[in-house]
């Protein structure tokens, strides 16, 4: 350990600051509830108060902060539950809570994650008494990690990823990183790059599994809505700009204006944060474009220029309406968004160059010819036009993308192998429960 006293001081300061802030968190949660990000009816869960009884027997606690992380660990949750082990899943958003209720059966318990303050975390752990904690991706909550470590509850980070920015930030505080990561019983990383970064920050042991998101089922969709939209579209050509950030919707508008004179085109825009939809619609309308919104159930009439996908959890619907997808947070923002879903659903992929958070995935897709990087809006417009008018090239990219996804599979089985030493004893314990109850 590079500096244990300094790390202890930092964690003690964090705990003290949390104790000061804790009484004022009600106002913060109320503000989030007003924005639709918190369920005010279940606010007590954020303070660690359980809303349902704890089942008997061994229990695994899964934490997945948002929709993407939740979707990634759903197959793993199902696997552990199938072994007779009880599972409680915590998430941080209402949308991820909805995903749990829609894609997991009623035997999976959902709670909102307790705030990372000692009273809330301790209350949560005192009640649920998890035998194992599994955390998805890169959720690092100091007080939660320390409390789990203090109670000698094994905690495993799965599908672990550290972006360039996160790694640089932790390296500046290596002493603190080591104090936290030494509490992890195991890290299962997405790639060799991620694994080396975790090791550099003091995590041991570290395994590599690949990306769990590749092993998930195809995103669901509403069959009735898809059929209706396809009928309304008829022979119109479409392309989609998905997971867009500020500035990328304007870029999509430029692309639409450039291509509209050449073809009967509908542009689909799905912002990463749907709460920006009003501002996006105002911008598009100001540019003379007619907008249909999913939340209004507007029909895709022939005079509609842009279909604004202002909902969460319906990417499976939007991507099934097109074969060309630009993946955002890559042109006017940095980091990139995951291109796996469009590849799985049969889209030729375009992206800006700022894809640091998904570098290895894009490298594999680009190597196999299923993704193209564009430098600017002009190049994006040319790329969209080229793919729309060249069916053979478009389908070659689609086939290559689906083949690449197939080759990338295997993360789920690798993750389960890494977890076996922790899961197997719990499976035995669950079988010894009276009547087989978990």
Token pair 């004179």 in the structure block, residue: 261
Task: Please answer whether residues 346 and 261 qualify as being in contact, where contact means their C-beta atoms are separated by less than 8 angstroms.
Answer: no
In contact, 244 and 318? CB cutoff 8 Å? no
| DSSP, res 289 | -
At residue 44, the 3 state secondary structure works out as: helix
DSSP secondary structure string for all residues of 150-209: HTT--EEEEEE---HHHHHHHHTTHHHHHHHHTT-SEEEESSHHHHHHHHHTT--SEEE-
Distance CA 382, CA 265 (A): 14
Catalytic residue among 69, 137, 147, 281: 69
Residue where the block lists tokens 């479409």: 238
Q: Give the separation between CA 420 and CA 88, rounded to whole angstroms.
A: 19
Q: Quick check: 272 and 334 in contact, CB under 8 A? A: no
Q: Specify whether 192 is catalytic.
A: no
Residue 433 tokens, joined? 């429960």
What are the strands of the beta sheet with 132-136, ordered from one edge?
A: 109-112, 86-91, 59-63, 132-136, 155-160, 186-189, 206-208
Residue corresponding to tokens 């009928």: 231
Residue 25 parent element (H or E): helix 25-34
Active site residues: 69
């Amino acid at each position: 350990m590079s500096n244990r006293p300094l790390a202890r001081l930092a964690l003690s300061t964090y705990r003290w600051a949390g104790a000061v802030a804790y009484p004022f968190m009600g106002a913060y949660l109320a503000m989030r509830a007003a924005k639709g990000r918190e369920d005010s009816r279940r606010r007590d869960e954020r303070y660690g108060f359980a809303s349902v009884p704890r089942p008997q027997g061994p229990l695994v606690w899964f934490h997945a902060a948002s929709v993407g992380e939740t979707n990634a660990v759903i197959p793993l949750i199902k696997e552990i539950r199938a072994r007779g082990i009880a599972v409680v899943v915590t998430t941080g958003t209402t949308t991820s809570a909805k995903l749990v209720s829609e894609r997991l059966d009623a035997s999976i318990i959902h709670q909102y994650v307790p705030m990372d303050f000692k009273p809330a975390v301790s209350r949560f752990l005192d009640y649920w008494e998890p035998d194992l904690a599994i955390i998805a991706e890169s959720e690092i909550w100091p007080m939660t990690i320390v409390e789990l470590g203090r109670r000698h509850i094994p905690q495993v980070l799965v599908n672990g990823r550290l972006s360039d920015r996160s790694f640089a930030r932790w390296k500046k505080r290596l002493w603190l990183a080591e104090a936290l990561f030494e509490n992890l019983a195991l890290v299962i990383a997405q790639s060799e790059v991620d694994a080396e970064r975790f090791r550099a920050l003091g995590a041991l042991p570290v395994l590599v599994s690949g990306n769990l998101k590749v092993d998930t089922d195809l995103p669901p969709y509403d069959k009735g809505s898809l059929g209706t939209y396809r009928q309304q579209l008829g022979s119109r050509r479409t392309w989609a700009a998905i997971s867009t950030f500020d500035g990328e919707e304007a870029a999509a508008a430029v692309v639409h204006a450039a291509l509209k004179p050449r073809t009967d085109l509908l542009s689909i825009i799905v912002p990463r944060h749907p709460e920006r939809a009003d501002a996006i619609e105002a911008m598009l309308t100001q540019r003379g474009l007619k907008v249909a919104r999913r939340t209004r159930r507007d029909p895709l009439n022939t005079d509609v220029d842009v279909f604004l996908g202002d909902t969460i959890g319906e990417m499976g619907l939007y991507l099934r309406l097109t074969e060309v997808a630009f993946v955002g947070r890559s042109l006017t923002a940095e980091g990139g968004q995951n291109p796996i879903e469009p590849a799985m659903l049969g889209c030729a992929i375009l992206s800006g160059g700022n894809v640091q958070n998904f570098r290895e995935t894009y490298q594999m897709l680009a190597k196999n010819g299923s993704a193209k990087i564009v430098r600017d809006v002009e190049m994006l417009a040319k790329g969209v036009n080229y793919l729309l008018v060249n069916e053979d090239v478009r389908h070659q990219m689609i086939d290559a993308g689906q083949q690449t996804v197939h080759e990338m599979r295997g993360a789920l089985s690798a993750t389960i192998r890494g977890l076996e030493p922790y899961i197997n004893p719990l499976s035995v314990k669950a079988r010894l429960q009276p009547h087989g109850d978990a």
